[in-house]
Amino acid sequence: MGSPPTIDGAFARWLADRAGQALVGLREELGFGDQAALKSAGDKVSHDLIRAELTRWRPQDAVLSEEDEGSRLAWAAEAGADTAPRLTSDRVWIIDPLDGTREFAETGRVDWAVHVALWARNAPTPHGLVAGAVGLPAQQRVLGTDYPPGYPPAMVTTATADAGRTIRLAASRSRPPAFLTDLATEVGAQLVPMGSAGAKIAAVITGEVDAYIHAGGQYEWDSAAPVAVATATGLHASRIDGSTLKYNEANPRLPDLLVCRKDLASRLLAALRQHCG
C-alpha cells in the first residue's frame, strides 16, 4: 500500500476507512458466538491500527483515544501540575476506534462507527476541529470533512412541523435521556432508536433523522469526528444549553450535545431549556 493522503481531511477519511475494513474482517473471522471477546478484540484492533498509522504519518501530533490508559482523566490545571502532552500540543487527533461496541458485537447491526478527528490550536472554527471522518464500515461508507455531504433535504421545518410533519429525533436504543420522551411529545417528534453516537449524528448529516439530542454522559471522542463533519455540512451543533462545544479540554468529559438542522435549532433549544433548566 502506498503513502496515505497528505491533506488532513483526506488522511482522516483514509484512516477511518482502514480501521473500518479491519473491523469488518475481524467480525467475519471471529463471528458472534462470544460477544465479549469480539468487543474487546474490536477495540484493540482498531485502536492499535490507528495509533500505529498516526505514529508513522503524523509523529509530531498528540493523540486522545478512548482506548488510551488514563484517557478519562481530568488533568489538573494548577501551575506546575503534570499535564497531558495533548494540552500543550498545537494539533491533537481525537479518536474513538470503535464507537458502538454493543452494536458491533451483534449480528446484522450496522449502526456502529469509527471516529477520527483533528483539533488544532489555531483553528478558525469555534470548536477547534479542522478535519474529521466518520467511518460506517457495515454501511460501506465514510463521511468526511474533505468532501462533506450536501445539506440534508428539507424534510421538516418549523412551519411544516406545525402542519403535521413529524420531527425525527435519533435516540439511544439502550440509554435515552429520561426527559427525551416528554420533549418529543412537546415538539411533536418521533424517537428513532439507534446505536452509536456516530451513527446517530451520521443519520442527521444524511437526512435520515432531523436531530440528535444527548445528555447524561459522553466524552470528546464520542462526538468530535461526527461534529466536525456535521458542522462542515452546515448543521447546528452545540451543548444542550446552546453553548459552544469545546475539544481538547483538560477534562475530556463532554456529557451533552444537540446536532440538528439549523431551522430546528431555536425550537429544540427552547424545549431543552424547559426540560433541562
Give the pLDDT band (50/70/90) at residue 19.
Answer: very high
Q: Which residues contact 103 (CB under 8 A, 6 or more apart)?
A: 109, 110, 111, 112, 195, 196, 199
* Residue 159, pLDDT score: 47
Over the stretch 147-164, which tens digit does the pLDDT of each residue have?
Answer: 999 999 876 544 444 455
Q: Which position has the higher pLDDT, 269 or 3?
A: 269
Residue 277 has a pLDDT of 67
- Give yes or no for a contact between 111 and 192, defined as CB atoms under 8 angstroms apart: no
| Cβ neighbours for 160, distance < 8 A, ≥ 6 positions apart | none
**Rounded Cα–Cα distance for residues 259 and 211 (Å):** 6
Q: Which pLDDT belongs to residue 81?
A: 57
Mean local confidence (pLDDT), 120-139: 97
How many CA atoms, within 13 angstroms, populate the side-chain half-sphere of residue 204?
Answer: 33
Confidence of residue 178 (pLDDT cuts 50, 70, 90): confident
Percent pLDDT > 70 in the chain is 93
Residue 102 has pLDDT above 50, yes or no: yes
Average pLDDT across the chain, whole number = 92
Give the span between the Cα atoms of 17 and 23, in whole angstroms: 10
The pairing of strands 167-172 and 236-238 is unpaired
Instruction: Tell me the C-alpha distance between 14 and 116, whole Å.
Output: 10
pLDDT at position 179: 87
pTM of the shown model? 0.94
- Tell me the three state secondary structure of residue 118: strand
What is the sign of the dihedral through the CA atoms of 267, 234, 112 and 90?
Answer: negative
Residue type for position 129:
L
pLDDT confidence of residue 240: 96
Average pLDDT for 89-97: 98
Mean pLDDT, residues 198-219: 95
Residues 22, 45: contact at Cβ < 8 Å? yes
